[in-house]
Amino acid sequence: MDIETSPLARPFPDMPPIAGVTLRIAKARYKNWDRCDLTYAELAEGTALAGVFTRNLCCSTEVEMGREQVKLGRARALVVNAGNSNAFTGYRGREAVEQIMAQVAAHLDCQPSDVLVSSTGVIGVPLPKDKARDGVAAALAAGPCSWEDAANTIGTTDTFAKGATASAMIGDTRVTLNGIIKGSGMIAPDMATMLGYIFTDAAVEPAFLQKCLSAANEQTYSCITVDSDTSTSDTVLAFATGKAGNAPMSGFDDPGADAFMAALHDVCRQLAHLVVRDGEGASKFIAISVTGAVDDASARRIGLAIANSPLVKTAIAGGDANWGRVVMAVGKAGEPADRDKLSIAFGGIWAARNGLPLPDYDETPVARHLAGQDVDITVDIGLGEGKATVWTCDLTHGYISINADYRS
């Protein structure tokens, strides 16, 4: 099945080097293909590590081990396998991951627990150990590659390479943050995973890096959805090499910490948006802003109920300002809401206020807004100060073609 590049694709940005990070790629041939599918990132000694992972209870070995490694807070290398998620593979899957960790640890003379592993692709097939061994050996022997090469190599059936970069001043020192991401595809059957990696030369204590990443995650990765299906392997890791030479940050009161947090948030939001822009069959990028909820968490849950509603998503695909479906989705979210206080706008134009359709509502400018690629929906709940923005894409024939008209 040929998959065309998403109409919402963005060009890969210019991404500067990050001191203390070297990228290499190789062909492990996890599937019957002739592309690079193993990515290796070597990290300077002392690199701080943070991570957030899927909440799926049937998660992969990689996720289970990653959670433990993040507690240790340090990393020397990352290996990403594309084409096989190694999920639901029991002890054989675990053996393959442990082999990769040991092989890289021997090469770097570090602890196996310093080597992070991610895998994405088909579920239920143990990662073949021989291919992994040869692939890792080839990567260790390869020359350095570009960020775009790495972004392409972690992808499975992504239709474009996804990267983002930002910088921040820590005192007099400029630090850089680069991120790459894949997914949230399911762009071919059995490919279900969002994997994101952020690299920075900033010096950051692991605990603070984790705090920053968790905070950014709450407002970025946790606020996107393509089809409501949560992967077994979703992972976002942050690596801070410390090579920029700033005074190490360990809390929000440290000089430059706010700027660092803002830059990290910026990279995470860019990466999260790119995932939505490559959502299966996506033809429109939809931002849903919820205000007036009882608190921010409630606003986010209402936003996600709207974003996950097949009826809202198909309405947007059809260019239909169907605010009745938005009402329905607010009501099914299970969060405090009062029908008679609800207001709904498309592209900044109110269709209904305080529970009633506006008598002078003119659909012409709304229809024009919905004809574009970027759609804004605003919902005011009218109860409190809680707010959130979530992002999704529309639901089109492309999604069905990708997921049903194809036999895995």
Residue 272 CB: number of other CB atoms within 10 A? 28
Question: Using an 8 Å Cβ cutoff, are 355 and 266 in contact?
Answer: no
Catalytic residue status for 153: no
- Say whether residue 365 binds a second copy (CB under 8 A): no
- Say whether residue 397 binds a second copy (CB under 8 A): yes
- Say whether residue 359 binds a second copy (CB under 8 A): no
Quote the CA–CA distance of 322 and 329 in Å, as a whole number.
11
Output the smallest distance, CB 397 to a second copy, in A.
Answer: 5
Please pick, among 120, 157, 193, 200, the residue that the annotation labels catalytic: 193
Site for a second copy in 126-185 (CB under 8 A): none
- Say whether residue 258 binds a second copy (CB under 8 A): no
Report the residue number, 87 or 263, with the smaller CB distance to a second copy. 87
Output the smallest distance, CB 312 to a second copy, in A.
Answer: 8
Quote the CA–CA distance of 399 and 209 in Å, as a whole number.
36
Report the residue number, 44 or 306, with the smaller CB distance to a second copy. 306
- What is the pattern of x (binds a second copy, CB under 8 A) and - over residues 209-248? ------------------xxxxxx----------------
Report the residue number, 102 or 400, with the smaller CB distance to a second copy. 400
- Say whether residue 30 binds a second copy (CB under 8 A): no
- Say whether residue 57 binds a second copy (CB under 8 A): yes
Report the residue number, 60 or 167, with the smaller CB distance to a second copy. 60
- Say whether residue 52 binds a second copy (CB under 8 A): no
Residue 60's alpha-carbon distances to 48, 55, 92, 210, 362, in angstroms, are 23, 11, 12, 21, 50
- Say whether residue 65 binds a second copy (CB under 8 A): no
Binding segment toward a second copy, per CB under 8 A, in 54-62, 66-74, 150-158, 260-268: 54-62
3-state SS, residue 375: strand
Q: Which two tokens stand for residue 249?
A: 């940050």
- For residue 184, give the nearest of 122, 274, 118, 85 by alpha carbon: 274
Quote the CA–CA distance of 261 and 269 in Å, as a whole number.
12
From 7, 90, 251, 372, residue interacting with a second copy (rule: CB under 8 A)? 90
3-state SS, residue 73: coil
Quote the CA–CA distance of 76 and 40 in Å, as a whole number.
11
The Cα angle at residue 122 between residues 120 and 128, in degrees rounded to 5? 85
Neighbour-count burial for 384-394, b at 16+ CB within 10 Å, e otherwise: eebbbbbbbbb
Peptide bond connecting 233 to the previous residue in cis, omega within 30 degrees of 0: no
Report the residue number, 127 or 315, with the smaller CB distance to a second copy. 315
At which residue do the structure tokens 């890969």 appear? 12
Positions marked active-site:
193
Q: Applying CB under 8 A, which residues contact a second copy?
A: 55-59, 87-90, 122-125, 186, 189-190, 192, 227-232, 308-311, 314-315, 317-320, 322-325, 327-340, 342, 352, 355-357, 394-397, 399-401, 403-408
